Amino acid sequence: MVLISHASGTLASGYSGWLYPLRWFSNGEYGVEIFFVLSGYLITSILIREYDAIGKLDIKAFYCRRILRIFPAFYLYLFFIVALDWMGLIKISGADFGFAATHLINYGQAIVLLFKIPDTGSTDYWFIGHFWSLSMEEQFYWMWPLTLLLLLRTRWYGVLVAVILAMPLIRFSSYYLFPGLRGQLGMMLHTGSDGIFSGCLLAICMARHPQFSKKLLFSPWIVAGLVLYVYGIAPMIDHVMPRGFGMVLGITLVIGAITMFIANVLLQEGTTWYHWLLESKALVFLGRISYSVYLWQQVFLTTENSTFFGKWPINLVAALVTGWMSYRYVELPFIRLKDKYFHSHKKAEPPLPVMPISVPSS
């Protein structure tokens, strides 16, 4: 969904004519939220499995796994962007490079306003702007293991529910109290993490209450309704309602629908037609290389790239090929190193359901 959304900007008339159906799948904002819910679910499931196996969390091993999984491909891409800037092909300020490199770019506006930093002067922010989502993920990684450990020991799971329900109110307050931060309202951890925490809550429910709402979620009408809402009703609501509604409350309703659908996928255990679709070789392959594709697609899916590789649909192919190369020659060696020295613990019982899409947290 993110790729299709970004690529639309490289077509003079967008998705029109015979390409019009792509508009239904070009909502990048919803695509990112799907990723966040999946990420929260996967990370929390791994940590709960470890806690149940050994009675504690190996925090050091967790961060070693995260570093080996995320940093090599990320900093290689950032080095490439620095090289483009050095050659004068693009212009990105040192401040924005610093925000990106330290995973603070989602708080860039806040830092600039707080410390009264002059205009950064970046004219090609696009090439690093997508790192807001990775920055939120990294900030989540830093706080979640110890927070989850506290929740598991105290069983205060209601705190997580309260945080998710409070997020729209926090966004509403921030929207009016800090108008200068509206551009990053859904990008900061304290205002836009209800997707991640919804995935975390789902993992806790699956591990501690595996039969919750199972009969309700098994209903094919529920599945159809969730899909209809995310791809049909919610976009129409966003179109007719003021922008503030979708940013404050509308996205929370979409997150709820996404979380329920993922719960249904897990509880159905591969018995429905959409499991066949999600587990197809093409989607599994795309999931496997998705992190590197996420990193590199900004280079190709932009009108700033006037080369042959910036033309639609060549740019989509170029993004996928480059993503595969990054996965094969950068990510994979470090994944093997991570798996060799920093195993996650497994219980002596049937494994957790395998998600059909692999994300950086897997």
Decide if 351 is inside a domain: no
Decide if 279 is inside a domain: no
Decide if 2 is inside a domain: no
Decide if 256 is inside a domain: yes
Residue located via tokens 């957790």: 352
Decide if 134 is inside a domain: yes
Tens digit of each residue's pLDDT (9 = 90 or more) over 95-130: 999 999 999 999 999 998 888 877 667 789 999 999
* Boundaries of domain holding 204: 32-272
Reading the block at residue 338, the tokens are 């991570």
- In this predicted structure, the answer to whether residue 47 has a pLDDT above a threshold of 90 is yes
Residues belonging to the chain: 362
pTM: 0.89
Residues 290, 31 contacting (CB under 8 angstroms) = no
* Distance, CA of 309 to CA of 318 (rounded, Å): 6
Tens digit of each residue's pLDDT (9 = 90 or more) over 245-260: 777 778 888 898 899 8
Position 245 scores a pLDDT of 72
For residues 169-193, average pLDDT: 91
Position 357 scores a pLDDT of 35
Decide if 310 is inside a domain: no
Q: How many domains does the chain have?
A: 1
Position 213 scores a pLDDT of 55
Decide if 326 is inside a domain: no
Sign of the CA dihedral running 54, 143, 204, 262: negative
Decide if 242 is inside a domain: yes
Peptide bond into 21 cis (omega under 30): no
Tens digit of each residue's pLDDT (9 = 90 or more) over 147-177: 999 999 999 999 999 999 999 999 989 988 9
Determine the 3-state secondary structure of 102 from DSSP: coil
- Per-residue confidence at 344, pLDDT binned at 50, 70, 90? low
Q: How far is CA 289 from CA 95, 97, 150, 292, in A?
A: 30, 25, 34, 6
